Structure 1
Amino acid sequence: MAHRNRGYIDVDSLQQELIADGDIVERIASFYNVSLPELHKTQNETRLACIFACGKEQETGDRAISIKIKQDGAVFRCFQYGCTVRGNLLNLMYLMKHNSEPADGKLKGRDFKEIAADLQALVAGRPPEKNVGTVSTSQSSTTESMNDKSPLINIPLKDSENERARELINLNEQFITDVAEMSPQAAAYVRKRPFMTPEIMKKFHCGYLPSNAKGLLRGHFVYGYPDADGNVLTWFGRNLNYEDQHKKWQRSGDSSKEPHKFKFVKGFHRGQELYGEPQFHGLATPEQLQQIGIILVEGPNDVINLHTLGIPALAVCSNTVTESQADKLATLANSIPGGHVSVMFDLDREGENGAKQTVMELAKRCRVRLAWSIDFADGRFKGRQPESVTVEDWDTAILPTLMHVS
């Protein structure tokens, strides 16, 4: 008997057969053991909330994804703002199986053969074949069972079972750190942040990934996210058009499609990590931490700027803290005599609300205080972020207050 992967598979006929049978969304999900949210069906379309790890920071609306089931190939698209997930039935199957898009967003070569074989098995009523090594253990599957209480773990790229993930280890070799060679948007982004020198970018494994590079983060300003030992766990990108997109979103009044500032690689469990650990441990001294506490900020630029001022800081890469992050911070704080966490989130409405949640969560575990607030220093810092803090700001206002509080 000839091996199936050497035989011709009539993909077009199989797709039409599957579409004719009906309930294709449910059948594909059942085939890959994927749990679906509520489906909203009409005669020609199925709508559902986005179930894919596409970098979104919160749940989408319950009709974000549209699947046109009567068109050739069953065309689908996600209408979540900034999302590019779309394609035909084969692309949908790949997403259901891997919770990520194929390389370069195109289904070809080995990936195409794999899904074509799955399509053949699906139509024939057979279970999918196991493809060893095609799914990274570091990816969060859409089928992460709610009954599975094992902790989520991020695996360093170098140790991933996924060959594609391992190939991303040296993504920073493609980064541009010279503003003269960046796109206008990237150059403007860097020039607004004087602390972002080529030397600092190299130290923090960040830089501009040009639009002609490979990968989903091309055209973004990209940051490496290392673990405490300095091993890169993932890469994430800053949307360089975020400010313009956010203004348009505010004018539109559409609360369901707020643009995202950062885009994370699919499957990364952000809430399990603290950004900036290697640099923090390399800079901090016990005496310094006793005086000012563990400075906790929102984003990577906050960490980087404070680092250039000689101030060790960690970031949650959000405006709230998770239980896992709070546990890690408390363990570190409680290991230092008189140790505590000083929360220094952005001084806007979201940052203030997030700081309150973070202080309450940390207070259950260790000593905690606010490093600043909107009313701090007669409102001098209202609307500011830690990435904008200068040496004068720190020495004349923030540091004396931190050292004065017992």
Structure 2
Amino acid sequence: MSDIDDLIAQTPLELVLSHYGLPLPASGAREHRMKCVFNETCSDSKYGNLSVQMDAAKRLFCHVCETSSNLLGLLHGLEKHQPPTGGRLRGQEFKDAVAKLREINGLADDQPRKPSAQAAAAPKSDPKPVVKEANVPMIRHEKEAARELANLCDDLIVDVAEMSPDAGQYVRKREWLTPDQMTAWGVGWIPGNGRSLFRKNYLVYTHRNERGEVVSYSGRDLSFEAKWTKWLRDGKPEGKKPNKHRYVTGYKRGLELYGGHAGRMNEPYVQESLNEFGVVITEGQNEVLRMESLGVAAVGLGSNKATDHQVDKLVRFAKKAGGNRALLLPDCDEEGEAGFKELLWRLSEAGVQTRLGFTSNTHGGMMRGRQPEDLTDEQWATIRQTLSA
């Protein structure tokens, strides 16, 4: 099997469909039916569904125009809205489809780029490959210790009665953080004898890439508030500012969006939320989880500032799945609002219709000094009403 065949086999159909903001296959389905991407008139026929097999080969066939291909052909149709020339991908069409498949998988762009007039006239030098950064899934990590942690999420404790006192207290204060939600998202406490660097007073969160693969874990320091108070009391000594979250060494969090994995598109509330608000953007993990409990599909930056990679993803998500709309829900402190002001500007410059859900000064100052995870059901209902006005 060639490298391209391997890549096709390893690419979930869900990842491709979510990239284009299309409905995902039913859970456990062996075949997926969708509108023909090669000929718009096919949808006028009751036989016009395109059938895509869910096995490794991912063969597809339109029962009207009779176009048959595989995942590369699907990508060609989604991009060009027509079948391959001569019925089969060849030459540049094939190269373009492969490049798109690699892009969706976050792999290096190994296709040559057309040089500009200035570049063509300049002295030639050895070409350098353009490398697209990506977090390696832990299951395929080069280090054995990292591979052994790939399924750490299966060991996390979600029952507060079995957690440490600090962890139990932290979860009980967040009634919306239920055992079912923690299990679904890979959130919980790891016992002190666990196989993790988070065994010392942390609540652990699982981080996934767009394909849904585990790429890292982070730990929320359950002693952070006490450390922060001491740091302030000591006059904010330089170099000793405590961190709220701890991440696995080597993880590039600026490449991912918490909650930005394709599998979420299977949840009914996600499409409803996208239709109502567009892509909802928050800062941290708890904000994403709290908004989910309110029926709102949000993604988190893991910081108060978005990286270039994250902005690119947010623009793509908004245009493909959110009706070209975004809703910002910042942490309402000085740093949080400053970071989201910049994000508001950048998304707007990219043509995304972007709104603020609230700030420190809206809604009578209700959110001043607070975060989205602090929202009560009633407060969100008030904010939601103003958004729909």
* TM-score band w.r.t. shorter chain: 0.5 to 0.7
Matched, 1:213 2:198: no
Aligned amino acid, residue 251 of structure 1? R
Question: Counterparts of 2:270 and 2:188 in 1: how far apart (Å)?
Answer: 28
In the alignment, the residues of structure 1 paired with residue 140 and residue 134 of structure 2 have an alpha-carbon distance, to the nearest angstrom, of 12
Change (3 A) 1:176 1:336: closer
2:13 aligns with: none
Partner of 2:250: 267
Residue of structure 2 in register with 1:351 after alignment:
336
**Residue 239 of structure 2: which of 256, 266, 287 is its match?**
256
1:199 alignment partner in structure 2: 180
Q: Which residue of 2 aligns with 1:387?
A: 373
Please point out which of 216, 238, 249 is paired with 1:234.
Answer: 216
CA offsets 1:145-171 (integer angstroms, 9 cap, x no match): xx9963321111112222221111121
Question: Corresponding residue for 2:134?
Answer: 153
Cα distance, 1:380–1:155 mapped onto 2, change above 3 Å: same
SS at match of 2:358: coil
> How far has the Cα of 1:215 moved from its partner?
2.4
Alignment partner, residue 181 of structure 1: 162
DSSP 3-state at the match of 1:277? coil
Q: Secondary structure at the match of 2:195?
A: coil
Q: 1:336 to 1:176 in 2, by over 3 A?
A: closer
Residues 74-133 of structure 1 show CA distances to partners (whole Å, capped at 9, x for unaligned) of xxxxxxxxxxxxxxxxxxxxxxxxxxxxxxxxxxxxxxxxxxxxxxxxxxxxxxxxxxxx
Task: Give the Cα separation in 2 of the matches to 1:282 and 1:261.
Answer: 31
Q: Distance in 2 between matches of 1:302 and 1:282?
A: 21
Which of 346, 353, 359 is the aligned partner of 1:367? 353
| Residues 1:281 and 2:265 aligned together | yes
List structure 1 runs of 4+ shifted beyond 4 angstroms: 284-287
| RMSD (CA atoms) | 2.1
Q: Deviations over 1:164-197 (max 9, x none)?
A: 2111112123322111221111111111111112
Match of 2:228 among 243, 246, 257: 246
Note the residue ranges of structure 1 that are not aligned, 5 or more in a row. 1-137, 139-146
Q: How far 1:243 sits from its partner (Å)? A: 0.4
Which whole-Å CA distance do the structure 2 matches of 1:266 and 1:346 have between them?
Answer: 26
* Identity across the alignment (%): 37
Give yes or no for contact 1:291–1:402 (8 Å, CA) kept in 2. Answer: no
Q: CA deviation at 1:274?
A: 0.4
Report the CA distance shift for 1:305/1:286 in structure 2 as closer, same or farther (over 3 A).
closer
2:295 paired residue among 310, 313, 316: 310
- Paired AA for residue 272 in structure 1: L
Task: Check 1:329–1:337 CA distance in 2 against 1; reply closer, same or farther (3 A cut).
Answer: closer
Report the secondary structure of 2:359's partner residue.
coil
Matches within 5 A, 1:70-109: none
Q: 1:350 Cα shift?
A: 1.6
Q: Can you give the 5+ residue segments of structure 2 that lack an aligned partner in the other structure?
A: 1-106, 108-127
What is the DSSP-based 3-state SS (H/G/I as helix, E as strand, rest coil) of the residue aligned with 2:327?
strand
The one-letter code of the counterpart of 2:228 is H
Structure 2 distance, partners of 1:312, 1:189, is: 23
- What code does the residue aligned with 1:260 have? N
Residues 387 and 162 of structure 1, relative CA distance in 2, 3 Å threshold = same
Q: Deviations over 1:282-334 (max 9, x none)?
A: 33555532431211001111111111111100000101111110000101111
**How far did residue 357 of structure 1 move?**
1.7
Structure 2 length normalisation: TM-score?
A: 0.63
Which amino acid is 1:370 matched to?
L
The correspondence of residues 32-71 of structure 1 with structure 2, limited to 5 A, is none
Aligned residues: 258
